[in-house]
Structure 1
Amino acid sequence: MIDDILFYTTVYVSLFVSVFWLLVFLGNKETKRKSLKKLPSLSVIIPAHNEEHHLENCVESLIGQDYPGLKIIIVDDGSTDSTAEAGKRLSRKYSFIRYIRKENRGKAAALNTGLSTVNSKFFGFIDADTSLSKNALRNMMAYFSSDAAAVIAVIKPVEPRNFVERIQKIEYMIASFTRKLMSFLNSLYYTPGFALYKTEIVKKLGGFDEDNLTEDLEIGLRLKDNGYRIENTAEDYAYTVVPKTMHDLFDQRMRWYRGHIYNTKKYSHMFFSKKHGDLGIFILPIQYILLAVTSPFLVLGIYDFLLALAKNIIDIKLVGYDFLYFFGTASFNFINPFTFFVVTLFATFLLILKVSERQIKEKISPFEYALYMIVYPFINLFLWIAAFTQEMLRTKKKW
């Protein structure tokens, strides 16, 4: 009885969400924006903590943007490696680069330190382990409209090689495609990795929340709560270094997922709010609805699948491995409603993956697809359960 309820609920919710996003994709067409003839003033803040191996590459990618009048502000958040030497060397070499050293108080505090020195019309922040594609700054500026307060780019992992990195490659691809769809609905609510903002608006809203694990999500929700748009460009890329081990991935996702739980609780008044349109009515609630529905279904489904598999293996052994006997008598019940649903779900998800691959201009091998579709759901489920558990137990939050 419970299995049936979970099964049909999961089928309905999953199909509803899939059809919804497909209709959004088919009903909207991305219009390429024309580059601005006159570029507004822009400053980019680089918060850096122990980034000796990445800082110079990040700065070089900004210098290579060919953006007249660009100012770069490096905020060293109490680094204990040679980040300070690299920052000072770069500031001496280039007059438009400013280096600021401060005590270690976290990324948001570093961003606010940099923001306090900004007098340009627009500013951005970029993680020190991230670099930009050519002309990203110019192209992104064209997306600012009268009510747009921020613009984000596509985030891609840098040269993924091992198992953990390759799974993230597909995860980032789907996330970027979903953000594009959200922007069509004026429902994009976070600014990860690299983003540009209108300086006046962010300063008016009080800057970044320094007591927050995911300040990029919090500022996005705050912008949406105050009626501003967040735009997304699918043609410009920010390449970032991703975790290489399961341990590092776990630490990163605990910060991300716990930050997501904390901030959606902080802005819970936006859930089911007509004032916030599709974001309040659908986007914010459906994430937790899907998680609540699919998690127990996935766990029970695995149990039923393994139970049926074990039973059939025993039965096959008892009849001397006569497979024709099972198919002939229809007693081989390995193919059941659950496996049919799994196959259907895989086929639907594969379609979404292929569309994402084309839209984000990514190249995914069949092996990577198989790896992601078979392994990722279980890894992600485990990470979410761990995040909720840590939040309920109120364990110490780590950056």
Structure 2
Amino acid sequence: MKRVVITGAGTVNALGQNVPDTMAAMREGRCGIGTLDIADLDRLAIKIGGQVRDFDPEAWFNRQQLSLYDRFTQFTLVAGREAMAQSGLEFTDELAARAGVILGNSGGGMNTLDENYRSVYEDGKNRVHPFVVPKLMNNAAASHVSMEFNLKGPSFTVSTACASSNHAMSLAFQMVQGGMTPAMVTGGSEAMLCFGGVKAWEGLRVMSKDGCRPFSANRNGMVQGEGAAVFVFEELEHARKRGADILAEVVGFAMSSDASDIVMPSKSGAARAIRGALVDARVDATEVGYINAHGTGTAANDKTESAAVADVFGAHADKLMISSTKSMHGHLIGGTGAVELLACIMAVRDGVIAPTIGYEEPDPECALDVVPNEAREADVDVALSNAFAFGGLNAVLALRRF
């Protein structure tokens, strides 16, 4: 089996429109959640989100491109350009034929969908733009990334709600590890902070009106975010031969299904995914120093995840640092695992642990070191990234310091 490393990273999210700005915000414990700037905000009960501010699509794309790119695709392409520039890879000849892109996404082109429902139902128009379908389809971002970077190998989108990105990155890892291709572009994106997207989540009654406070006893729900993160996963010797800068090594993954409930998480399902990632990575539980938690800020998730971590790590759970960066950038749904992988890279590469901000009151059912409110310097060899999705679909990735 081949060793797999990360040689490029890019992002657009509520904390920053590139990786350095995002990591700086994580170090500072900065909150990217605020009042939404969207149509019909007065008709929403939930008025906050981790929205990408001051993003100018016209600075990145021409008019013809914008007729094809929903907001989630725009975010993905900008993040992809950053990742590709850092990696220095050029996909030509045989490499182009073998390399591909696997991205996670849950809602597809929600802004396009919202705008065109308005056009038909509110404005009474009887036709929509001819590119509505290719603009809103879930695989649009992956397809446009493949076209922009000449990726002619296995390319597709994974849609498993909040675990989409982790599932996508796990599959990309597996393809490089197994020798199918020397490199893959992977990650995820989401942009459903529009009236319809927020209204749909309101119906679940799991949303906070004032902020995301994972693991804090006074938490009152999750907060949506938007954005993208894209990475280049590359076979180690391929990266070494061309002198690439290596950010971290991907060493394992696992997936599981709760097979029990469409929305309520399961401790055993989460624990099986965490334990499976350790086995796949050939890592002892005591080697793990940091976990980027799924940490949504709902009682169901936080208590279940804490119990799963305690179950897997036993006495070592007391020595683990586990934080939720959703407290800063919100829950990016299908794109969330990708943005959160940046915190794991920061932990193993830079020795900086992103905090769980908004933490105000200890919860005895979440008795872990959640790195409250302030970042911490620590020596971390192995980090895990947890993603536990609606539908009971779980995916955990393991990174090691290179």
**TM-score normalised by length of structure 2:** 0.27
Structure richer in helix, relative to its length:
1
Larger C-alpha radius of gyration, 1 or 2? 1
Higher relative contact order (CA 8 A, sep 6+): 2
The TM-score with structure 1 as length reference comes to 0.27
